[in-house]
Amino acid sequence: MTSTPENGSEPEVFAAPEIADAATEIAPLAPGISLAEDGDRAPVVPNPEGVPEQYRPYPVSFVRRSARLTAGQESAMSRVGDDYLVQVPRAHASTSVDPRVSIDLPTVFGREARTIVEIGSGMGECVSAAALANPDNNYLALEVYWAGLAQAISLADRAGGVPNLRLIEANAPEILDALPAASLDEIWVFFPDPWHKARHHKRRMVQPEFADQVARVLRPGGIWRLATDWEPYADHMREVLRGRTDLVPVIPESDGVVERFEGRVLTTFEEKGRRAGRGATDLAYVRA
Ligand SMILES: C[S@@+](CC[C@H](N)C(=O)[O-])C[C@H]1O[C@@H](n2cnc3c(N)ncnc32)[C@H](O)[C@@H]1O
Answer yes or no: is the C-beta of 87 below 6 A from any ligand 1 atom. no
Tell me which of 104, 177, 193, 246 is the catalytic residue. Answer: 193
Q: Please count the structural domains in the chain.
A: 1
Answer yes or no: is the C-beta of 143 below 6 A from any ligand 1 atom. yes
pLDDT for the residue 256: 98
Q: Are 221 and 287 in contact (CB under 8 A)?
A: yes
Binding site, annotated residues for substrate:
197, 229, 267-270
pLDDT for the residue 238: 98
What number of other Cβ atoms are within 10 A of residue 206's Cβ? 22
193 has catalytic annotation: yes
Atom of ligand 1 nearest to the CA of 125: 9
pLDDT for the residue 277: 98
Domain for residue 4, yes or no? Answer: no
Supply the range of the domain harboring residue 121: 30-287
Answer yes or no: is the C-beta of 128 below 6 A from any ligand 1 atom. no
Domain for residue 17, yes or no? Answer: no
- Residue with CA closest to ligand 1 atom 1: 193
Domain for residue 252, yes or no? Answer: yes
Answer yes or no: is the C-beta of 144 below 6 A from any ligand 1 atom. yes
Per-position pLDDT tens, the chain of length 288: 333 333 333 322 222 222 333 334 467 899 999 998 654 445 444 444 554 555 677 889 999 887 799 999 999 999 999 999 999 999 888 899 999 999 999 999 999 999 999 999 999 999 999 999 999 999 999 999 999 999 999 999 999 999 999 999 999 999 999 999 999 999 999 999 999 999 999 999 999 999 999 999 999 999 999 999 999 999 999 999 999 999 999 999 999 999 999 999 999 999 999 999 999 999 999 999
pLDDT for the residue 14: 26
What is the pTM assigned to this prediction?
0.88
- Residue with CA closest to ligand 1 atom 21: 143
Domain for residue 73, yes or no? Answer: yes
Binding site, annotated residues:
118, 143, 171, 193, 197, 229, 267-270
Domain for residue 9, yes or no? Answer: no
Q: What is the 3-state secondary structure (H, E, C) of the chain?
A: CCCCCCCCCCCCCCCCHHHHHHHHCCCCCCCCEEECCCCCCCCCCCCCCCCCCCCCCCCCCCCCCCCCCCHHHHHHHHHHHHHHECCCCCCCCCCCCCCCEEECHHHHHCCCCCEEEEECCCCCHHHHHHHHHCCCCEEEEEECCHHHHHHHHHHHHHCCCCCCEEEEECCHHHHHHHCCCCCEEEEEEECCCCCCCHHHHHHCCCCHHHHHHHHHHEEEEEEEEEEECCHHHHHHHHHHHCCCCCEEECCCCCCCEECCCCCCCCCHHHHHHHHCCCCCEEEEEEEC
Answer yes or no: is the C-beta of 61 below 6 A from any ligand 1 atom. yes
d(CA 152, CA 76): 10
Evaluate whether ipTM surpasses 0.90.
Answer: yes
Domain for residue 15, yes or no? Answer: no
pLDDT for the residue 94: 87
Domain for residue 187, yes or no? Answer: yes
Torsion of CA 179, 184, 189, 190, to 10 degrees: -140
CATH number of the domain bearing residue 74? 3.40.50.150
Closest CA to 41 of 24, 54, 58, 53: 24
Domain for residue 7, yes or no? Answer: no
